[in-house]
Amino acid sequence: MMVTLTPTTTTSTNGDELLLITQPALRTKLLHARMVDEFSANSVIQRGEKVYLSLRNVADEALRREITWAILRLQMGATLKNEEIPDPLRTALQTAASGPSPLLMALMVGGLSGVVGGVMIMAFVGLIVTILNVSAESYVGVTATAVAFVLGGALFGISTTIFVWRRLSHQKTAVPPFPFNFLNSAKTPK
C-alpha cells in the first residue's frame, strides 16, 4: 500500500515550520504533554480546533527531519519503538503517558488512609469512652474522639504516604495509574 503525503501536513509561517497534528490520540498526548514537558510547552500550538507542532526551536536540521518523519508516521498509525522516536518527541510522549508521579499517587493513597484510619481510631476511642461510662454532661468524650481522629488520621496518613511513596519510587517500570499497584511490586523480581 502506497501512501502519498499531502502538502497540507506541513505549514510554513514566517520561516517557522508547523506540522498539523490530525491523529486524535497523538493530539491528546501532545496537548497533555504541553502542561508538563518543556519541549511540548514551547512547540505545541493550538489555534482553535487545530493543533500544530512547531519546529522553530529545533536548531539541528537532521533532528528536525527526524521529528517530522516520526510525527508523519505516528499520524499514519505506525507503532514506533522508543529508539525510532527522536529524543525531544520521545520525552514528550512518554511524559504524557506516564500518569501521576509516585509522590502524587502516594499523597492520594495517604490522604485516603489518613481519613479512614482517623475514623477507625475515633470510633475505638468513642467505644472506650462509652464503656468507661463517662457522663454526658462532660465534654471529655467529644474532646477525646476529636483528638483521636486528628492524631490517628495524621499518623495513618503520614505513615501510609511514606510507605507507598518509597514503594512506588523504587519500581523500575512505569507505574500504571492504579493506587494499589505497590502491593504487587513485592512479588515481582527486581
Cβ density class 90-102: b for 16+ within 10 Å, e for less:
bbbbebbeeeeeb
Helix (H), strand (E) counts: the chain: 7, 4
Each domain of the chain, given as residue ranges in start order, spans 7-97, 102-185
Name residues whose C-beta falls within 8 Å of residue 167's C-beta, 6 or more positions apart in sequence: 182, 185, 186
Can you give the pLDDT of all 190 residues of the chain as single tens digits?
Answer: 444 444 445 555 555 678 899 888 888 888 888 888 788 888 889 888 899 988 888 888 888 888 889 888 888 888 888 888 888 888 878 765 556 778 888 999 999 999 999 999 999 988 888 888 877 666 677 788 889 999 999 999 999 999 998 988 876 544 444 444 444 444 444 4
Residue type, 147: V
Q: Which helix (H) or strand (E) holds 17?
A: strand 16-21
